[in-house]
Amino acid sequence: MAFVTLALTLGGVVAGAGDSVADDVALPTPLSDTFYATPTNLDARRPGDIISVRARPNPPAFFDVRTFQIKFRSTDSRGHPIAAITTLLVPTRKQADGPLLSFQHIINATGLKCAPSQALWTQDPNLTIREAPGLNVALQRGWTIAIPDHLGPRSSYGAAKLGGQITLDGIRAAQHFAPAKVAESRVGLAGYSGGGMATAWAAALAPTYAPDLDIVGAAYGGVPMNLLRMAEGLGYDTPHPAFGLAFAAAIGVAREYPDEIPIQRYLSPLGRQMYAGMRDACTNDILRLGAGHDAQQVTVGGRTIFDDPTARRVVEENSLSLYPGIPRTPIFEWHSPSDVLIPVSSIDVTIRRYCRAGVRVEQLATPSPDHLSAAVIGMLPAFRYLTDRFDGRPAPSSC
């Protein structure tokens, strides 16, 4: 999930001169693993170019695979080159150019330790990749699976367009990696909530950002498609149990857009305390630190900042329902009609626009009242949908 309530309440202009970089406190603590270091010659590389590769022991939950991590060149929200990471699970029994699935895991985090390339090996139950059983089924079918760190090297939670770009470049990198034997593979995309947001953005950006990729289907659910609408409904002036997610998203967006959202300038003493506590936080700590608070408590200036046009532009830039691009791939979309954490009406508006443009979309309204249970209900239908796309069957449509 990616909630950007504070991205609207913290707009303004950076004080002082200098390059556009987020302050040191806002950036996550770098990992000690030198594999994550950024090389100096990124400008000379193209998006998706491999920088380095390493073999890894298989994550504890996976079997009959070979595991690799690829560092590749991608692009951040301001068009600058970055180094990103994807973890590649290659079945030991597979056909060359068999299906390639890019799975965007949910990452509610401001810390790099929370990314899939770290969490896949963790013993911390709070970071466990709970989709492992379903992914193992796909691996046993011979699908190669790429799991990108789609929040990027600054753990820019809430910068949704960035997630789509990293996802697409991670697929390119996987196809450039000869030992995986996926150079000519059909590609599928899947993800839920924040992972669904990266998936949906990847599908929408692909026609212009990565037209070279053969993406045959995208399955996503519970996607926050309009961050402005979400900002207006989650923890703005009323305490909310999930407000920590909004605050974490404000930190993440400020990391990507430091000129537009100089977050520290508008924090109250409580806000500064939460800000420092969330520098490297994962989901549980984010929720704990933010529970029962709202944007009015952690900022100064109140509603006068809410309408700042620069901050609103940044959030609009990361709201898929406001992005005019149209996917070319068939889509399976699912959500709970009564989900209170995301603006369901924004999903409906976006999907109707896709349908009018001729995209074949199959939708599933889950018989569930909440965000989390809907994820489980939709997972198997999503994988069946992608199986049919990989097999070349015509895509259904509920448009």
For 364-395, what is each residue's pLDDT tens digit?
999 888 888 888 888 899 999 999 999 999 99
Residue 6 has pLDDT above 50, yes or no: no
Q: What is the pLDDT of residues 134-191, one digit of tens each?
A: 899 999 999 999 999 999 999 999 999 999 999 999 999 999 999 999 999 999 999 9
Q: What letter does residue 46 receive in the DSSP assignment?
A: -
Out of 3.40.50.1820, 3.40.50.1980, 3.90.950.10, 3.40.720.10, select the CATH number for domain 5-226+317-390.
3.40.50.1820
| Mean pLDDT, the chain, whole residue set | 88
The SS3 call for residue 99 is coil
Output the pLDDT for position 7: 43
Tokens of 65: 């695979």
Q: What is the pLDDT of residues 243-273, one digit of tens each?
A: 888 888 889 988 999 888 888 888 889 989 9
- Helical pair 132-140 and 371-390, crossing angle rounded to 10 deg: 10
Whole-number CA gyration radius for the chain: 20
Output the pLDDT for position 360: 98
- % of the chain exceeding 90 in pLDDT: 63
Tokens of 342: 């995301």
Mean pLDDT of 57-73: 94
- How do the domains of the chain map onto residue ranges? 5-226+317-390
Mean pLDDT of 222-251: 82
Residue carrying structure tokens 């504890």: 60
Tokens of 219: 């399955």
Residue pair 19/78 in contact by the 8 Å Cβ criterion? no
Cβ neighbours of residue 56 under 8 Å, at least 6 residues apart?
67, 68, 69, 87, 121
Strand order in the sheet with 65-75: 50-56, 65-75, 81-91, 144-148, 100-104, 187-192, 215-221, 331-335, 361-365
Select from 25, 169, 167 the least CA-distant residue to 110.
25
The single-letter code of the amino acid at 341 is: L
Q: What is the pLDDT of residues 92-129, one digit of tens each?
A: 999 999 999 999 999 989 999 999 999 999 877 667 67
Residue 36 has pLDDT above 90, yes or no: yes
Strand partners of residue 219? 190, 332
